[in-house]
Amino acid sequence: MLPVDQPCPLTLPVTRGMFQICDVRCCDWLVNICQRKRELKARTVWLGCPEKCEEKHPRNSIKNQKYNIFTFIPGVLYEQFKFFLNLYFLVVSCSQFVPALKIGYLYTYWAPLGFVLAVTIMREAIDEFRRFQRDKEVNSQLYSKLTVRGKVQVKSSDIQVGDLIIVEKNQRIPSDMVFLRTSEKAGSCFIRTDQLDGETDWKLKVAVSCTQRLPALGDLFSISAYVYAQKPQLDIHSFEGTFTREDSDPPIHESLSIENTLWANTIVASGTVIGVVIYTGKETRSVMNTSNPKNKVGLLDLELNQLTKALFVALVALSVVMVTLQGFVGPWYRSLFRFLLLFSYIIPISLRVNLDMGKAAYGWMIMKDESIPGTVVRTSTIPEELGRLVYLLTDKTGTLTQNEMVFKRLHLGTVSYGADTMDEIQGHLRNPCPQMQSQAGGNNASSTPPRKAQSSAPKVRKSVSSRVHEAVKAIALCHNVSPVYESRAGVGGEAEYAEADQDFSDGNRTYQAASPDEVALVQWTESVGLTLVSRDLGSVQLRTPSGQIQTYCILQMFPFTSESKRMGVIVRDESTAEITFYMKGADVAMSSIVQYNDWLEEECGNMAREGLRTLVVAKRALTEEQYQDFESRYSQAKLSIHDRALKVAAVVESLERQMELLCLTGVEDRLQADVRPTLELLRNAGIKIWMLTGDKLETATCIAKSSHLVSRTQDIHIFRPVTNRGEAHLELNAFRRKHDCALVISGDSLEVCLKYYEHELAELACQCPAVVCCRCSPTQKARIAKLLQHHTGKRTCAVGDGGNDVSMIQAADCGIGIEGKEGRQASLAADFSVTQFRHIGRLLMVHGRSSYKRSAALGQFVMHRGLIISTMQAVFSSVFYFASVPLYQGFLMVGYATIYTMFPVFSLVLDQDVKPETAMLYPELYKDLTKGRSLSFKTFLVWVLISIYQGGILMYGALLLFESEFVHVLAISFTALILTELLMVALTIRTWHWLMAVAEVLSLGCYVASLAFLNEYFDVAFITTVTFVWKVSAITMVSCLPLYVLKYLKRKLSPPSYTKLTS
């Protein structure tokens, strides 16, 4: 029996286990409290009643700052001391507060460390303040909020979920909203989404019909309605929700989709809109698609960090050897620590100072380069990265292209019209078409016979004039473009504007459409004489060259989709009652739909080679009976519950048979200036270019060809759409069998492949000469950048110009923003900002090269400067019975690292191995940089051997040649050391600059002048003797002459590649 107060042995483990479970749960609870990551939920939002929200939602403020007032100092210090180099100096400096370990004066350690930290904190503070100012500007924008008492002005950051916000034309939408009302009569408006998805096509948005029908704006408060919205998501192309009005009988329910939403950071392009806020701040689509900026660290900095660790190991080994040779006498651990401090100059603190100042100098040189005006360096810590890039990820719209569409060619099969022959088309249109006249003059009631004649028309050769008439009319009717006339009156907040005072003249008309191609086509028809004057949901009006207005009733519209690759419209001519089905689309989709012909495929190929975007236009005449039959089947298909999309497509396809081919059009998306030579330059430099765009597959492929991203002779493998693992596996296998071909893949397929076969896809894609990813979301772009970094270990650069490129720019090792039509969001988030894509060539070939080469030389020379003095200290200590006594003290050590050698060493930032013209002419030279040969363990080892040789010669020479007094050893060795360093800088320089010579002379002058004041360390009487001069000269000669001979021999026997080009 156990005593009463003693627990049963079986219960002990159980009790202990319970305590452990409680412990773990408490820890988890604490972690959750600390992280406080809110779970995203669906919500019910009452119109105009933010106070009815059940949950607390985030503030609608934009925050791009890295720190706040409390985390700034700790954050900056952490970023500094996470580097081994800086942490080592902090420990060494702190050790000088211990009397037994004190080697010299405190300022010799603390002054350089304090300087480094002060510069870093100042730089970060300035950057942080600029970010704060940019955020404040966006958050302070004023908007009109609708309340029961009328309109009030609110700041963007004060907008809440449930608020009714009025957004004027050309104003930024401040938060994610559901579109309730618009001033446009049609109940729809256009918005520009270039800052969200990179597409400059305007998107058509439709207001909720229930609220659009209300008589007045104030009636929004007289109804009881709410919106049910799904939880916040990343996907910018989808939305599910419902609108419910409770106070009607029965209650009205409307389903909401993506076309009823207005996402934050998009711009209203037409009319005034009123929306109810559903997501704010961190929950908006644009913020969820933006990644947090990371602190970028250059590859060169990481390599130097590795080398300092190697130096630290050498330092510890040397100190242990010294203590061992000393025989571990007395408190040996104190001697060990003193030796560690004595040899601490092996790792020079001036390394960080020199490199940071060098980076600032490179940034200044980039911004002052007149060949790339307007270039701004926003991240001054990574200029060397520009010289190490292997992958360049670029956006398409606005980066490679200007996004300006121009109509270039019309081909009718037998005749082709280009830019110089458009006046012939105008001539044809001015003369009324004979066929059209006869039809117009005929009896409308008996309009069947001419239609029958028309169906057999292919047998009869039509005149060129009538074919031109038909082609231009088809282009003017088959589109989704709306002409818009600017109102002369001031725009108010009401939804009911009088349109009587609008100016309907040609000069006041602008076209709005979901695609710039469409606008280009309609603008062209206007230029040749057939003008689109008005359009609403049910009719289109055209004006002929003679001024006659033709009205067409729109019976059906079939919008363009990426699956069908075509769009169609069925119209009825009001004057003749003829019904015509017009269709236009990509040649791959249309070639099987149109009647047999022998020219379409060949001409499409010819236009594509010219970089033109082609569209095939066709038509089919329908009788009234044919149309009525189609309409009944079409309506039935649209009402079906199961497989609705398939059934609708099948009904439409029944019309798409034996259509009459009218023409082929060619539209050019103008490329940015010098895009082709720049891409060729980058390719020759060994840089692999990936184009990541939110645009359609056909457009992306066309631009890839026209910009010569994909060369003309190269095959293109278009990755078929895949939805599951099996399909992805088959498609990857098909792609594996292809060799040396460019890859084109869509964002959806990419997502599936990354989910199941990330490694295989990365491996195959990295072997391609070029990759095009279309329909990419902002997060996918960033993910591709990270994928390349992870799988290849190579440096990536991202180039973009829109808000949708910010995530990619921040994820890449080096981000370049282009200031373009899509705003400045990308250029502000980037590390480097340029005004044109062509400037990237010079930025990488010239500035990237020189920054990397200079920093590598500078870093290694500063290390050499520390190693040589540590070698002298080791020789000195070993000669004098391994005493842990410093060779040079106080000002000599400070002077050596500063005024005596600083200017010549820092002047290495002006050195260049190749002239800028040569670097641009021979981009192949860039390939060598990516191998990292300028700074490697091999080059570092060479410098270590040079330091050991020179340090040994200087110290042993001084000890051999001194006669009576020890103070002479100091004078001879220190003077020879300074002269050796100045001569070594001269040896390292490849191209002399006048400032380098000034720095050499100035430093030598400073040293000679300071000898008069250094009587504490030197015997001034001895310094002025001839003996001193010859001894110093002899030692310096022995330490430097062999190296000059070796350099001369290396240049003769194994010259670097660039010298062959410059000779």
Residues recognised as catalytic: 395
What is d(CA 692, CA 397) in angstroms, rounded to the nearest whole number?
Answer: 10
Q: Which helix (H) or strand (E) holds 681?
A: helix 675-684
For 103-140, give the secondary structure using H, E and C.
CCCCHHHHHHHHHHHHHHHHHHHHHHHHHHHHHHHHHC
User: Is there a contact between 1018 and 970 (Cβ–Cβ < 8 Å)?
Assistant: yes
CA atoms within a 13 Å half-sphere pointing along the CA-CB vector of 211: 35
What is d(CA 354, CA 493) in angstroms, rounded to the nearest whole number?
Answer: 60
What is d(CA 477, CA 702) in angstroms, rounded to the nearest whole number?
Answer: 25
Q: CA–CA distance from 1030 to each of 974, 1033, 1035, 1037 (Å)?
A: 14, 5, 9, 10
Of 704, 630, 633, which is closest to residue 671 (Cα–Cα)? 704
Amino acid at 5: D
List all residues 6 or more positions away from 1046 whose beta carbon is below 8 Å from its beta carbon: none
User: Is there a contact between 84 and 182 (Cβ–Cβ < 8 Å)?
Assistant: no
Q: What SS3 state is found at 1017?
A: coil
Q: What SS3 state is found at 812?
A: coil
DSSP state of 239: -
Amino acid at 833: S
User: Is there a contact between 513 and 480 (Cβ–Cβ < 8 Å)?
Assistant: yes
What is d(CA 403, CA 394) in angstroms, rounded to the nearest whole number?
Answer: 15
Q: How many helices (H) and strands (E) does the chain have?
A: 38, 33
List all residues 6 or more positions away from 636 whose beta carbon is below 8 Å from its beta carbon: none
Q: Which residue has the tokens 């021999």?
A: 1049
The count of other CB atoms within 10 Å of the CB of residue 502 is: 15
Cis bond upstream, residue 250 (ω within 30)? yes
What is d(CA 151, CA 165) in angstroms, rounded to the nearest whole number?
Answer: 9
Tokens of 637: 């298909």
For 325-390, give the secondary structure using H, E and C.
HHCCCCCHHHHHHHHHHHHHHHCCCHHHHHHHHHHHHHHHHHHHCCCCCCCEECCCCCHHHHHCEE
List all residues 6 or more positions away from 448 whose beta carbon is below 8 Å from its beta carbon: 623
Judged by phi (left if over 0) then psi (alpha if -120 to 50, else beta), residue 815 lies in beta
What is d(CA 726, CA 712) in angstroms, rounded to the nearest whole number?
Answer: 33
Of 251, 181, 256, which is closest to residue 218 (Cα–Cα)? 181
What is d(CA 469, CA 426) in angstroms, rounded to the nearest whole number?
Answer: 10
List all residues 6 or more positions away from 69 whose beta carbon is below 8 Å from its beta carbon: none
Parallel, antiparallel, or unpaired: how do β-strands 267-268 and 188-192 relate? antiparallel
What is d(CA 182, CA 854) in angstroms, rounded to the nearest whole number?
Answer: 60
Q: CA–CA distance from 621 to each of 452, 525, 569, 658, 665 (Å)?
A: 9, 22, 12, 11, 21
